[in-house]
Each structure stands twice: as structure tokens, then as C-alpha cells.
Homo-oligomer: A and B are copies of this chain.
Amino acid sequence: MPTIRVDMFEGRTPEQKREFVKALTEATVKALGTSPEAVDVILTDIKKSDWATGGVLWSEQKK
């Protein structure tokens, strides 16, 4: 029954997302002993202009 939410920068390919949700689910099944069907994963794409670290948006970070 775990529900996994991921906030990540936008720009991943469909193939990356496909592999990512599969890998997260497998990690969950292995570590927690749940059935795969009980695992939900929701991906949220965040723009670099909407995420800041250290008070500076990633769209404006120097490096």
C-alpha cells in the first residue's frame, strides 16, 4: 500500500520514467515485502524556475 511521490526536474524521457517507476517499485517490494500491485508511484515534473535551493531558483543558479 505504499504510495510514492517524486518531485523531480522536468525533462526525463518516457523511457527514463518507465525504468524509474519499475525500479522504485522493485526496490519497495524487496525492502518492504509488499506485492507490486500495492505500490503506487506518482511523478511530478518541476520546472527549474519553480525550485529553489539556497534561496536561488535553479533556472538562475550559476552552476
Once the chains bind, are A20 and B27 in contact (CB under 8 Å)? Answer: yes
- Given A3-B3, A50-B44: A23 and B18 interface contact (C-beta under 8 Å): no
Copies of this protein chain in the complex? 6
Q: Quick one: closest B residue to A7, CB to CB? A: B3
Of the four ranges (under 10, 10 to 19, 20 to 34, 35 or more), the interface on chain A belongs to 35 or more
Q: Shortest Cβ distance from A47 into chain B, in angstroms? A: 9
Asked if B17 and A57 sit within 8 Å, CB to CB, the answer is: yes
How does the 8 Å CB contact mask read for A1-14 relative to B, with 1 for contact and 0 for none? 11111111100101
Across the interface, A51 reaches (CB within 8 A) one of B22, B25, B28, B40, namely B40
Which residues on A are within 8 Å of B, measured CB to CB? 1-9, 12, 14, 16-28, 30-32, 36-37, 39-46, 49-58, 60
